[in-house]
Structure 1
Amino acid sequence: MTSDRITSVRISSVTLPLHTPISDAKVLTGRQKPMTEVALLFAEIGTESGHEGFGFGYSKRAGGPGQYAHAREIAPELIGEDPSDIDRLWTKLVWAGASVGRSGLSTQAIAAIDVALWDLKAKRAGLPLAKLIGAHRDSVRCYNTSGGFLHIPIEEVLDNTTASRERGIGGVKLKVGHPDWRVDLERVTKVREHLGDDVPLMVDANQQWDRPAAQRMCRRLDPLDLVWIEEPLDAYDHEGHAALARTFDTSIATGEMLTSVAEHAELIRAGGADIIQPDAPRIGGITQFLKLAALAEHHRLQLAPHYAMEIHLHLAATYPQEPWVEHFEWLEPLFNERMEIKDGRMLVPDRPGLGLTVSDQARAWTVDSVTVTA
């Protein structure tokens, strides 16, 4: 017997414009163009008892229309199902599209649906998502990334770090990977001097160094007392990351670009990260994130989920070791609520589920939408 059934699934494609084109090292090396928008995939699930769940995924640059098309195609598989059986439904959805793989775009389409199912389950229980899963803490250390991109002049970066600290954000991450390594070193040194020795500072090379360059840069950055050096190498160079982790005092962080638990398992097996950075929308949602988190904890790894703080705050709160969550204000216009930050930490909302409601602005940015019913 079941207490409820899924009666409707609404899938929406939403395009969020960015106020300023964004550039990291991938742009400066000519591999990508500046980012001007974020493509969002929304999933809204309704049940016969009147409960509703909301989830989202995203794509930067290409991929958003593909995620939307795949989610729209598999959504009918949910009609009539018990929304509590989330793991079984994830498996059903992944096999519905198995011919296009069990990672990447296909499972990223499932992620938005999976998040909606977890949001629904927590709302039915009257609990914040973190409490439904089982929280270790009611707040998580946070750091800001959006103020430290490579297209931003260093004087403005310094102002951004001050503003972040005044807002209560605990740490600062600075983008590196400039074609001229001297520019990187000068910018990181200035930020460290501006912040002082006690403020957590991270850097992110976005995969743009080869092994010799990464060795040299890690050696130059080691004395600056960084929390971590992120993605110094290609995301799939697990052995190269492992060599850096063994050689230098500064922790090596990576994982955001991997798109399945299986890919992360290979990274962990190689010893390629001190700090693992999974992204729930990229690896298939909360169901897969929790499986990976158990594996990461078994290997005593630190956790710092990538982006999507609105989801990852809840998940980081459930990790046994003290984690980090990444602060990006980019998605704030999509929702009526804001994450609360105090004394360097992001507070887990006490509202049921994710604690989010979709804003009128997000509805206005909707490009296409389809609703599947019985």
Structure 2
Amino acid sequence: MAARAPKQWPLTRHETITSFENWRQNLEYTLSLDPNFSKFLERSVTWTKKTADNPLRGFTDDSDSVPESLRLTAVQRAAQLELMLGQIANFCPVISRNTIVKNSTSLSAIWQAIRLHFGFQSTGAHLLDFASIRREHDERPEDLFQRLMAFVEDTLLTTDAGISHHGVLPSTNEDMSPTLENLVCLHWLSLLHTGLPALVKQRYGPELRCRTLASLKPEISQSLASLMDELRSAEDAQVLRSAAASFSRAPSRPAPTAGRTQPPVGTAAGQPRTAAAAGRSAAAAAAGGDRRTQRPARSCALCKAAGRPESDTHFLSRCRFLPASDRRFMAGIRLIAGCDVDADFDEPEDDDPVSPTPADEH
């Protein structure tokens, strides 16, 4: 007794290549168990559309060479075909019933009509949709890889697809080559993260000398979480470096310090400036020679909020009132950025960090 296939299920409005192929193969197996339908499942069997002028769909009576127990008339054969097509239409409610029962000419034509409805018809243009595949929200990396593999396997050339390559129809069904499988793995890594291919090349360089990328895919999948964490850490460090570099290059005028008065514009130390001296100063400033005009204004948000007069004599990172934990955190940021912002401003040797005053201690 032949094994029964799983109970056939109807197609829904939303199907993928994989779900459609599962549905098709299960239906073909179920139909093959019936001897009245199995003869129509061969790829070479075709028929014509059913019309008023052609009710028998091109079938003729069997010749006398066929055993009498198996001999069928054209009417019987057409009736068996329509019964089979009706069964297919029962499980395919998403397209018109007449598309399958009356207008089909072969099983391949039926499958192509269904694939066209879902947008993955086997054509030369279908391969271009590969570029539009993206990782969906909360999609596991393995699910994305299997979706890519199913898409590529579906685009392989077959003898009954009617697609030619350089004007030649394939004589055999195409198999996935190792190079094509490697390219699928490469595209999978790029979709997960643009920097992942380079990191995999660096991490698995010795193994890749004698093994293909596809053969290393199981090892890459197992260490994928650590690889992604490494890439995210590198991105965070790059953001901190960029932010610190932008801050250190930001031009601003130094704020006046407490107890000091700024000399009037056009004078130096209370003395009038000559036209030549003013010209030289302007040229030096234009050439970037005056470095102090590029330093940010000293300001301590902590002292300013407390109303201390020393708030404009130091930066927040130099403040004695800053908790030790925050001071260590800011020092870490300067180390990651590769520079000490405060050290770039030529602090006087005797400029010590602000010490707490008796009033502040209370």
TM-score scaled by structure 1? 0.19
More helix by share: 2
More strand by share: 1
The structure, 1 or 2, with the larger RCO (C-alpha pairs under 8 Å, 6+ apart) is 1
Flag the structure with larger Rg.
Answer: 2
